[in-house]
Structures are given as C-alpha cells and as structure tokens.
C-alpha cells in the first residue's frame, strides 16, 4: 500500500521541506548593487538644501527633485559629473566625510556653476552616453566630466535598474548610428506600460507576455501573491543570493581575485568607444566641453590589467578624443597614493581580505576633486 503511494509521499515531503525553507529564509532584502563595495566602503550621495545633487539608481521623481534644487539655486550652467561606483563610494567611510562630486559642488558654488552628478556601479560608456544625452536635453550643461575606466570597457549593454529615469520618461537617444540604434532597441525592450486604473503593475519580469491577454492576469496574480505571501516579495533577493554564491564559487574554483588580470575584450571596447565618440559628437553639437580622465587606480600593488593593453587603450582613447575639439583629456591614474586605498570583503570562499582597486578613502576624494577642478578650469 505504502509502496503505491511512495512517489506521492516523496513529492509531498519535497514540497513541505521546500515550503519550510522558503518560509524561513525568504525574508530579507539586500542592495546587490553594493555587493562589490564590501562592508568597509559606503556609498554617499550628496544633497544641497535637501535637494539631491548626486543620483544613482534614480527614477523620474528623483530627477525632478534634482531639477527643482538646481532651479532654487538659480538655474546656473551645469557641470555634470558622470561615473561609476568610484565616484560615489568612500572606503573606510567616517561620518562627516564626503566624496569628490560633493566637494566640487561646494567649491564651484561661487564660480557661477552648479555641479551635479550621476554615477552607476560598473557603468559602461553606453550607459553613460545614454545618461549624458538625457541630461543634455534636460539641463543647460556646459561642462561634462567623464571618467573612462579600463575595467568598464569590458561591460556591455544598458541595465534597466540604473536607467529608471530614462525608462519612466520614455526617453530615446536622437542618434541613428549603430550605437544609438542598439541603445534605443534595448530601451524599447524595457518599456513599462502605464500603470492601469486597477493598480495592476506589469514589470519586466513578464517580458514574454507583453501585449497578450495573459499579461493582466499574470500581473494580477503576482500582485495578489505579493500582498498575501511575503516570501514572494523576496524572490529577487534570493535570486541575487544564488548568483552571488555562483560568482564566489567561480572565483574560488578558478582562483579569481581583484588582482587577476582582466583582458581587454576588443568587441566590447569598440562598442564602448563608439559610445564615447557619439557622446563627444552630441556634446559638440550643443557646445559642451567634455573632460575625459583616466581615473585613479591603486598602483602600489600589481594592478588587475595587462600593462601593454592598459597603455594601448589609453592611447586609443587619447587619439579618439583628438577628433573632437570640444574634448579634453587627462590621465589621473597615479594621483592617489596606496595609503589612501583600502581593502574589501572577499569575493571568493575561504579568503580573508582583498585589495580594493576601485574605491579610495576620503583624502583620495579630496585629491581627485583638486585635480578635476584644475582640469576643468584650465
């Protein structure tokens, strides 16, 4: 008798154990964009008179707040800083410390400029081109500061989570070149339908159902599940945890750490440099000065680059920028000493601390603010 029911009993036990695990562990949210920062590094997004001057994972509301602040401060010409996590993160953060965009905002207040910033973790040049286009069309940008991280030349594509402001405002790049079309095509795939009257929100997890009858039922059921079954809301966090586990497992098995040399991938570099060209072209058409710099890296220990590839990439960027008279270029990779850098949590199992090559301490931000201020006021 039991033998007959055994397959079903196994399944029921499987369901019960799964349910217990889900109920016990699916109960926390995490900021995965801060994963690579580690516990000793903190993100800092400055504001002025309670209006933000530095955005990251921003939606349209945040951008409108930034715009309101800019209006309140007198509609001054804007110096826009774009960047990645180096721009907003401070290693060994202590209360009262700020990052270089905040320092520059205060410093240039009296000079007739309003310094604003938008930085996204691992931001590649395609994303920064998209963001710069949006800002250029929305605010009177006069100077644009843009770091080119050799690391981020390996990144590709537009990430929905960091381009909410673009998606919510249905913005498209006015650029029919290959890179412009690629970016716009990606934006199309993100487009979120307007919120329905019955509060059914369709998100990007339902891409396959767009414009089908099922779309609404799925959104309705998801919302019901989210409202009545708490664990449903934490699925995204658990997905992130699972990928983090796999990432650490990969690093452990293949012995990858922050000092492992990263190869420049020619196709992705090309795509990102095309975005840089498009950005310079757009800036030139609006008479905006573009200040491109090679950002600081930790140089007292062996860096995660092949030296010849790193130098070749810098030369290539320099040559590319020569075509655009509105662009300026400076290599700042060795301006911050080793003592102003720090360590971070391990990105592999069974390891203690790892060098942080991307994020420096507060004094480093002061040094970079000094260098950039003199660069743009040359």
Residues that bind other proteins (CB under 8 A): 4-8, 10-11, 13-15, 17-18, 21-22, 154, 156-157, 182, 204-209, 212-214, 217-218, 221-222, 225, 235, 238-239, 242, 250, 254, 263, 265-268, 270
The three-state secondary structure class of 357 is: strand
Nearest-approach distance from CB 197 to other proteins, in angstroms: 20
Minimum distance from residue 25 beta carbon to other proteins (Å): 9
Between β-strands 289-294 and 327-331, what pairing exists: parallel, antiparallel or unpaired?
Answer: parallel
Assign 80 to helix, strand or coil: strand
Q: Least distance from C-beta 129 to other proteins, angstroms?
A: 17
Nearer to other proteins, 10 or 300 (CB): 10
Q: Which two tokens stand for residue 74?
A: 């007198």
Would you give the end-to-end CA distance of the chain in angstroms? Answer: 88
Of the candidates 145, 173, 160, the residue with the CA atom closest to the CA atom of residue 205: 160
Q: Which is nearer to other proteins, 8 or 378 (CB)?
A: 8
CB of 10 to other proteins, least distance (A): 5
Whichever of 270 and 307 has its CB closer to other proteins, that residue is 270
Q: Which two tokens stand for residue 34?
A: 């801060």
Q: Which is nearer to other proteins, 4 or 94 (CB)?
A: 4
User: Which C-beta is closer to other proteins: that of 18 or that of 301?
Assistant: 18
- Minimal distance in Å, beta carbon 5 to other proteins? 6
| Shortest Å, Cβ 155 to other proteins | 9
Question: In the bound complex, what is the minimum distance in angstroms from residue 19's beta carbon to other proteins?
Answer: 8
- Nearer residue to other proteins within complex by CB, 254 or 301: 254
Q: How far is CA 156 from CA 44, 95, 125, 149, 358, in A?
A: 25, 35, 8, 13, 19
- Tokens 């029911």 belong to residue: 5
Nearer to other proteins, 139 or 219 (CB): 219
Smallest Cα–Cα separation from 206: which of 196, 217, 195? Answer: 217
Q: Alpha carbon of 224 to those of 102, 192, 201, 220, 228: distances in Å?
A: 43, 20, 11, 6, 6
Tokens representing residue 155 in the block: 């990144």
Nearest to 82 by CA among 43, 135, 32, 31: 135
């Amino acid at each position: 008798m039991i033998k007959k029911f055994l397959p079903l009993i196994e399944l029921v036990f499987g369901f019960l154990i799964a349910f217990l695990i889900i109920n016990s562990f699916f109960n926390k949210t995490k900021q995965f964009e801060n994963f690579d920062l580690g516990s000793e590094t903190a993100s800092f997004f400055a504001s002025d008179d309670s209006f933000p001057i530095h955005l990251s994972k921003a939606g349209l509301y945040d951008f409108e707040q930034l715009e309101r602040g800019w209006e309140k401060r007198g509609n001054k010409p804007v110096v826009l800083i774009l960047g990645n996590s180096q721009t907003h993160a401070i290693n060994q953060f202590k209360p009262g410390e700020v990052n270089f965009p905040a320092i520059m905002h205060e410093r240039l207040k009296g000079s007739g400029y309003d310094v604003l910033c938008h930085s996204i973790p691992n931001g590649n040049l395609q994303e920064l081109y998209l963001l710069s286009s949006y800002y250029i069309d929305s605010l009177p940008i006069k100077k644009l500061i843009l770091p080119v991280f050799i690391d981020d030349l390996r990144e590709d594509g537009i990430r929905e989570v960091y381009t909410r402001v673009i998606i919510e405002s249905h913005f498209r790049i006015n650029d029919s070149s290959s890179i412009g079309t690629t970016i716009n095509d990606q934006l199309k795939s993100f487009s979120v339908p307007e919120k329905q009257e019955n509060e059914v929100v369709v998100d990007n997890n339902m891409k396959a159902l767009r414009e089908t009858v099922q779309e609404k039922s799925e959104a309705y059921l998801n919302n019901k599940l989210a409202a009545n079954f708490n664990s449903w809301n934490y699925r995204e966090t658990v997905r992130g945890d699972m990928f983090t586990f796999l990432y650490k497992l990969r690093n452990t098995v293949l012995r990858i750490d922050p000092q492992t040399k990263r190869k420049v991938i020619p196709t992705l570099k090309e795509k990102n440099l095309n975005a840089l060209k498009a950005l310079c072209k757009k800036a030139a058409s609006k008479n905006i000065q573009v200040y491109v710099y090679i950002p600081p890296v930790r140089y007292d220990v062996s860096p995660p680059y092949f030296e010849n590839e790193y130098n070749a990439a810098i030369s290539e960027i320099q040559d590319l920028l020569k075509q655009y008279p509105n662009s300026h270029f400076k290599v700042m990779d060795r301006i911050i000493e080793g003592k102003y850098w720090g360590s971070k949590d391990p990105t592999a199992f069974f390891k203690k601390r790892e060098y942080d090559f991307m994020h420096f301490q507060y004094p480093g931000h002061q040094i970079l603010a000094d260098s950039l201020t003199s660069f743009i006021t040359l």
